[in-house]
Amino acid sequence: MKKPLLPPPNRDTTANPADLIAERFCTALLWISLGIAVVAGFMALLGRNGGKLGVTVTFAIIFVLMLATRRWWKKTDTSPDGSPLAAPVPSAPSSFTTPAPASVTASPAVQRPRILILNASLGGHDGNSARVIELITPHFAPHADVIHARLAGPGADNLLGLKNALQSSHALVIATGTHWDSWSSPLQKLLEDATPAEGTALWLGKPVSVLVTEHSTGGKGVLSRLQGVLVTLGCAIPPMSGLVLSRAAVIAAQHDPKAANDFWCADDLAVVAHNLVEAARGTRNWRTWPVDRTDFADRWLA
């Protein structure tokens, strides 16, 4: 037998719940009774069949009773204030997940937020990411409390070990190196383990900054893709809250400081820290780093 040119469409075989079937049946009877009552009423008014008047009254009474029943039914699906009841939140498969509320509102302002700084680099406390964290931490000190954690090296944490720190923090900083156009393998493992917690209070609405180090290329792609993953988990990205510190940019700045003005540098960490604190506080006094607005279109290739 020949296969069809196009495969048959997938059909939804999920059974409707009993209460939905009963509600639809009730609605159908409601409109049928109304239709019969209207037709019988018109016939009685035209004098074609006086006996229809009794039928009209009977079906009108049925219609009123069923309408009242349906309204009562609807009220049982609402909360005392008349709003629809929220669907039950399914139980989380892992112990570290915290279900998010059905209706999320803006977090109250926090005067001194707690910020979790996560060193996700393979180098641990000896790598370039550790140095970037050393440079950005003093910018947080006057305005926020900082919690440090590492994913590699002695005393490394995993997602379960970070549960309390993640739950108690108001914002996150993630620092990673660039490894074959991607972030570190410990960070990838953390993100995979965090899959059951997607969209839960562990991440939802928390501002996050991403700090990437690279030798020469690939870091910007890592930054953009990692920010996209974090947004999918539920985090928020403040403006100018991620950057790439490159060895190539450092060398360029040593040889031609003016030409390297539009490269990310350690001074830009102050802007990242400020904007992250602003987002964690719920305020919006953003800052920007210097932007090349003059010779960005100049030809530089000889």
Q: Which of 145, 165, 171 is nearest to 235 (CA)?
A: 171
Looking at residue 156, its pLDDT comes to 87
Using alpha carbons, list the distances in angstroms from residue 136 to 2, 37, 272: 66, 77, 8
Euclidean distance between CA atoms 246 and 252, whole angstroms: 10
Looking at residue 80, its pLDDT comes to 42
Looking at residue 298, its pLDDT comes to 78
| Mean pLDDT score of the chain | 79
**Coil, helix or strand for 56?**
helix
By percentage, how much of the chain surpasses pLDDT 70?
A: 70
What confidence tens digit (pLDDT) does each residue in 90-147 have?
Answer: 434 445 555 555 444 445 567 899 999 999 999 888 889 999 999 999 999 989 999 9
What confidence tens digit (pLDDT) does each residue in 142-190 have?
Answer: 899 999 999 998 888 888 889 899 999 999 999 999 999 999 999 999 9
Euclidean distance between CA atoms 226 and 48, whole angstroms: 77
Looking at residue 262, its pLDDT comes to 81
- 272 close to 211: Cβ distance less than 8 angstroms: yes
Euclidean distance between CA atoms 146 and 130, whole angstroms: 15
What confidence tens digit (pLDDT) does each residue in 7-47 have?
Answer: 555 554 555 566 667 677 777 777 777 777 777 766 666 66
Using alpha carbons, list the distances in angstroms from residue 83 to 74, 79, 86, 103: 11, 5, 9, 12
Looking at residue 52, its pLDDT comes to 56
Looking at residue 55, its pLDDT comes to 61
Range 67-79 average pLDDT: 53
Residue listed under structure tokens 């400020």: 274
Q: What angle do CA 163, 151, 210 make, to 5 degrees?
A: 85
- pLDDT above 70 (res 84): no
Q: What is the pTM of this model?
A: 0.65
Euclidean distance between CA atoms 179 and 169, whole angstroms: 28
